[in-house]
Amino acid sequence: MDTAEEGRIYKCLFTGSVSSLLTLPLDMLSTENLLADCLQGCFVVTCTLCAFISLVWLREQIVHGGAPIWLEHAAPPFNAAGHHQNEAPAGGNGAENVAADQPANPPAENAVVGENPDAQDDQAEEEEEENEEEDDAGVEDAADANNGAQDDMNWNALEWDRAAEELTWERMLGLDGSLVFLEHVFWVVSLNTLFILVFAFCPYHIGHFSLVGLGFEEHVQASHFEGLITTIVGYILLAITLIICHGLATLVKFHRSRRLLGVCYIVVKVSLLVVVEIGVFPLICGWWLDICSLEMFDATLKDRELSFQSAPGTTMFLHWLVGMVYVFYFASFILLLREVLRPGVLWFLRNLNDPDFNPVQEMIHLPIYRHLRRFILSVIVFGSIVLLMLWLPIRIIKSLLPNFLPYNVMLYSDAPVSELSLELLLLQVVLPALLEQGHTRQWLKGLVRAWTVTAGYLLDLHSYLLGDQEENENSANQQVNNNQHARNNNAIPVVGEGLHAAHQAILQQGGPVGFQPYRRPLNFPLRIFLLIVFMCITLLIASLICLTLPVFAGRWLMSFWTGTAKIHELYTAACGLYVCWLTIRAVTVLVAWMPQGRRVIFQKVKEWSLMIMKTLIVAVLLAGVVPLLLGLLFELVIVAPLRVPLDQTPLFYPWQDWALGVLHAKIIAAITLMGPQWWLKTVIEQVYANGIRNIDLHYIVRKLAAPVISVLLLSLCVPYVIASGVVPLLGVTAEMQNLVHRRIYPFLLMVVVLMAILSFQVRQFKRLYEHIKNDKYLVGQRLVNYERKSGKQGSSPPPPQSSQE
């Protein structure tokens, strides 16, 4: 009932009418639309709880990481946005992906350079902060403000340990004879209502009135996301208002008000930045990918507009999902580049593996204009890469191979396989399997290293890209050169190896350094430009190969099976991708086995053939039968009752059920591995530990495949036997038989879920009963030694037991 009340309060606040507010007490006692209101209330309470936890966590970040300098000193936030010296140095090296500024003063030609772009900024900020402290006139006011800030930060509203001790099961459920639980319900409803009023109602109406006043209401309504956009606009206006009020409080020296307004501004600022980086940026990337790939699927912007008008939420979610996948694989490739390149080459990109990197601290400390600049740079870089690796290759393919494009994707509803399920299968199963299990990452890393070595020697940038690896070998030559330089009294200083480098070495204590010296050749900017051009050409060629070779191979192989019939292009792409991977894998294995002789090769071939046969059997069972049964069960339990009316016959597509079953099986396996210890988790962990080379076919079939297939077959067959064999014997009508046949699967699922909930509640009440009994009647407990009885001790008295009354 609590969640239903929350849902009705939420609807009452956002209805905007006085009648709904007057009838709220009666609506809260009504039983109409109870289930829908409960579901909406659960969602509202979950959002409220997550927001509250986020606020507490953000407060801990401010306490432990330190507040911004403009908040600690008497400086308004808009001054921090205009002056770089009022900002603390960032914890990491970037924003979304593109980050810091270039060093302002490049070193001389042929000098040995140690890259650390933050060093000069840190030094400049330290000097400017010292000057600011010397010129500060209000020392006493600043001290009072700092003391008030420390008091605010050290303030603790609740004693969590004492509250947790007082909160017991019997008190929460009202079983201790008191009515305290009603007070808890009242406080929960009141706090949630206050939270909705402050964090949703007020920003929404601020944004609504502003948009109506500016005349943008029609444009916002046409976006199909009026509530979200209006609330975000309200938060932006609220942040601007907080900045202005913070400045006014600073001028009149209201220190506590100034600090409170500053903390509120930080909360709103971090919330908006999280929405931009996690929501808006992947959405932009997803739409840009779709727009640049329209010609590849023979689609137009009008088609995308129609799909958006028909299902705006689904369309936006799919584009956001594609953008998140793109950002994830881009970040993975950047991490791979950091393993190959010299530390410091990618100084303009954030290092996600840096233990000192904390994006939340960057959001707290850095001003808005720097976040906006990083966001624009990230959009430019990601958009340029999409143009280079998607739009331009598509244009080249259409000009060179006119009959190759478009890709054949069946977008009509009566297709035997949904393109969405295949895309999810490709992104969630095929690509992770290739990147994680197939040595593809090592091959990609080797290709990147080979390309880097080639480009380094061609452009004389080997020291810049990979570092001076032969430094120890050429130490004698270096000593001779150093002596010659010493005679001329013109020794070139090594930039970056001074006190700051020593401090970095002390802090890192043998870990990976953030910068490494390199030799700077002549015409260095021209060589860097040629390196970028060479990199763009390489990426273009690689994209052309990836877009054509797997599809060519897949179409050629599928033609032996399907003939001239056109099939979904994801089938051909996945088939060609796996064939290319198997070919490369076989070539690398044979090259590695060649030096060992013919007998060893035959022995290895025999072992691998046996292992491949076992793997195929396991794949048929676990990747074929189990997903098919799981997808068919999901179709019968969830999809068919929701989508197909009783007077129509549902159609089942085995390929689509299998594709969705693979995703369901992967999700279930992940949840099982994260859950408590039971037999299925133990078996899956053992199979993962054995791996493919030590695969135990008997163990997998007996412990994993047979029990899972038996449970799925029973779940499919028992309801069918009851509906088709037992119910007709009872003499019911044909309509009742059809109803039972169509609704028996969700009915049995509901029964199983209810039985599980009841058994869980019975166990909980048993524990509660034991806890109450022990609290009321248990006097004490005593630990005694266990002594095994023997013949000599037959007449000895029994050991003392725990004393109870």
pLDDT in tens, 623-639: 889 999 999 999 999 88
Q: Contact, 744 vs 719, CB < 8 A?
A: yes
Copy the structure tokens of residue 546.
């990836």
At 489, which amino acid appears?
N
Q: Contact, 308 vs 478, CB < 8 A?
A: no
Q: Give the residue-averaged pLDDT of 302-326.
A: 91
**Per-residue confidence (pLDDT) for residue 557, from 0 to 100:** 86
Instruction: Read off the pLDDT band of 585 (50, 70, 90).
Output: confident
Other C-beta atoms lying within 10 Å of the C-beta of residue 26: 8
CA atoms within 13 A on the CB side of 438: 19
pLDDT of residue 420 exceeding 70, the answer is: no
Residues 594-614: b if buried by 16+ CB within 10 A, e if exposed: eeeeeeeeeeeeeeeeeeeeb
**Max Cα distance, the chain (Å):** 112
d(CA 537, CA 325): 24
Q: Contact, 368 vs 112, CB < 8 A?
A: no
d(CA 304, CA 308): 6
d(CA 404, CA 395): 12
Q: Give the residue-averaged pLDDT of 733-751.
A: 89
d(CA 265, CA 551): 52
Q: Give the residue-averaged pLDDT of 89-107.
A: 39
Instruction: Read off the pLDDT band of 379 (50, 70, 90).
Output: very high
Instruction: Read off the pLDDT band of 710 (50, 70, 90).
Output: very high
DSSP string covering 748-762: HHHHHHHHHHHHHHH
Copy the structure tokens of residue 233.
């606009």
pLDDT of residue 436 exceeding 60, the answer is: no
d(CA 24, CA 377): 50
The 3-state secondary structure of 532-594, one letter per residue: HHHHHHHHHHHHHHHHHHHHHHHHHHHHHHHCCCCCCHHHHHHHHHHHHHHHHHHHHHHHHHH
Q: Give the residue-averaged pLDDT of 478-491.
A: 43
Query: Tell me, what DSSP letter sits at residue 426?
Result: I
Tell me if the bond preceding 521 is cis, omega within 30° of 0.
no
Q: Give the residue-averaged pLDDT of 446-460.
A: 92
Q: Give the residue-averaged pLDDT of 118-135.
A: 43
Least confident of 15-24, 153-162, 758-767: 153-162
The sign one gets for the Cα dihedral 644, 648, 653, 658 is positive
d(CA 605, CA 157): 69
Q: Contact, 573 vs 554, CB < 8 A?
A: yes
**Per-residue confidence (pLDDT) for residue 512, from 0 to 100:** 44
Q: Give the residue-averaged pLDDT of 46-57.
A: 83
Copy the structure tokens of residue 173.
């459920």
Instruction: Read off the pLDDT band of 8 (50, 70, 90).
Output: low
Q: Contact, 137 vs 387, CB < 8 A?
A: no
pTM of the model: 0.65
Instruction: Read off the pLDDT band of 10 (50, 70, 90).
Output: low
At 282, which amino acid appears?
P
Mean pLDDT of the chain: 76
Q: Is 630 exposed, middle or buried (0-12, 13-18, 19+ CB in 10 A)?
A: buried
**Per-residue confidence (pLDDT) for residue 90, from 0 to 100:** 38
Q: Give the residue-averaged pLDDT of 255-264.
A: 88
Residue 98, classed as helix, strand or coil, is strand
Query: Tell me, what DSSP letter sits at residue 333?
Result: H
Instruction: Read off the pLDDT band of 34 (50, 70, 90).
Output: low
**Per-residue confidence (pLDDT) for residue 400, from 0 to 100:** 92
**Per-residue confidence (pLDDT) for residue 20, from 0 to 100:** 56
Least confident of 118-122, 321-325, 376-380, 704-708: 118-122
Instruction: Read off the pLDDT band of 220 (50, 70, 90).
Output: confident
Least confident of 227-231, 288-292, 353-357: 353-357
d(CA 158, CA 803): 38
pLDDT of residue 192 exceeding 80, the answer is: no
At 677, which amino acid appears?
Q
Residue 495, classed as helix, strand or coil, is strand
CA dist 686 to 284, 690, 692, 693, 696, Å?
42, 6, 12, 13, 10
pLDDT of residue 712 exceeding 80, the answer is: yes
* Higher pLDDT pick, 675 / 479: 675
Other C-beta atoms lying within 10 Å of the C-beta of residue 771: 14
Least confident of 31-45, 67-81, 296-310, 568-582: 67-81
d(CA 716, CA 696): 28
Q: Highest mean pLDDT range out of 253-267, 375-389, 778-792?
A: 375-389
**Per-residue confidence (pLDDT) for residue 577, from 0 to 100:** 82
Query: Of the candidates 771, 803, 770, 766, which has an alpha carbon nearest to the alpha carbon of residue 784?
Result: 803
**Per-residue confidence (pLDDT) for residue 715, from 0 to 100:** 92
**Per-residue confidence (pLDDT) for residue 528, from 0 to 100:** 92
Sort strands 517-519 and 112-114 into parallel, antiparallel or unpaired.
Answer: antiparallel
pLDDT digits (tens, 9 = 90+) for 490-519: 433 333 334 344 334 433 433 344 567 888
Q: Is 698 exposed, middle or buried (0-12, 13-18, 19+ CB in 10 A)?
A: exposed
Instruction: Read off the pLDDT band of 487 (50, 70, 90).
Output: very low
| Residues constituting the chain | 805
Q: Highest mean pLDDT range out of 39-53, 96-110, 229-243, 414-428?
A: 229-243
DSSP string covering 614-673: HHHHHHHIIIIIHHHHHHHHHIIIIIHHHHS-TTS-----HHHHHHHHHHHHHHHHHHHH
Q: Contact, 681 vs 672, CB < 8 A?
A: yes
